[in-house]
Amino acid sequence: MSASLEVEFKFRDVDLASVEKRLCELHAVPEGVREEVDLYFAHPARDFSRTDEALRIRRIGDRNWITYKGPKIDSVSKTRDEIELPLADGREAWESWKRLLERLGFRPVRQVAKRRKRFLLDWEGWAIEISLDEVADLGVFVELEIVCQHEKMAAARDALSRLAAELGLQTSERRSYLELLLQMPQ
């Protein structure tokens, strides 16, 4: 809702154990492990892949959210309008929301399920969130993220690049987990 941005790098073909070891040496703070499930829906009348939109319900532990992502509104950055709202807690609420959306003609098309181990690291004065992800059907990934004001984007990106080098992360991946899943051979 504010003017802050997520600057995010993702890497594939990673060795989670060695990344985690290096994070410990850098005194990163472990933030726990959690299961995250994103269930994406197709629209009853629009092709979201053409309109560049998305609708999903997200489950993190016992908590649920709904997220609408609008089309990218800027060709250079990945800026898009996003509306994320909390839903009632618990698995029963999750199932009811799924049923409600299905009744309205939305069809669940893809589920992204991951086990995410999170760390917080103070790096060059930036608060960096690091996620070690084991993604069902896709494998393991590391995400590095800074939330900052728009005007600090370039500096944040440079800091993330240096951290990536420090952690031995090389193979950058720009596609979302959803895109990767959709592009997999059936």
Distance separating alpha carbons of residues 52 and 175, to the nearest angstrom: 14
Given 17, 24, 73, 83, the residue binding its own copies (CB under 8 A): 83
Q: Least CB distance from residue 37 to its own copies, whole Å?
A: 18
Q: Which two tokens stand for residue 92?
A: 């029963």
Question: How many residues at the interface with its own copies, by CB under 8 A?
Answer: 25
Which residues ranging from 31 to 50 are in contact with its own copies (CB under 8 A)? 43-46
> Does 155 participate in binding its own copies (rule CB under 8 A)?
no
- Which of residues 84 and 158 has its CB atom nearest to its own copies in the complex? 84
Distance CA 133, CA 115 (A): 6
Contact, 130 vs 142, CB < 8 A?
A: yes
For 44-63, b/e burial (b = at least 16 CB within 10 A) is eeeebeeeebbbbbbbeeee
Catalytic residue at 68?
no
Residues that bind its own copies (CB under 8 A): 1, 43-46, 53, 55, 66, 68, 70, 81, 83, 85-88, 92-93, 96-97, 99-100, 103-105
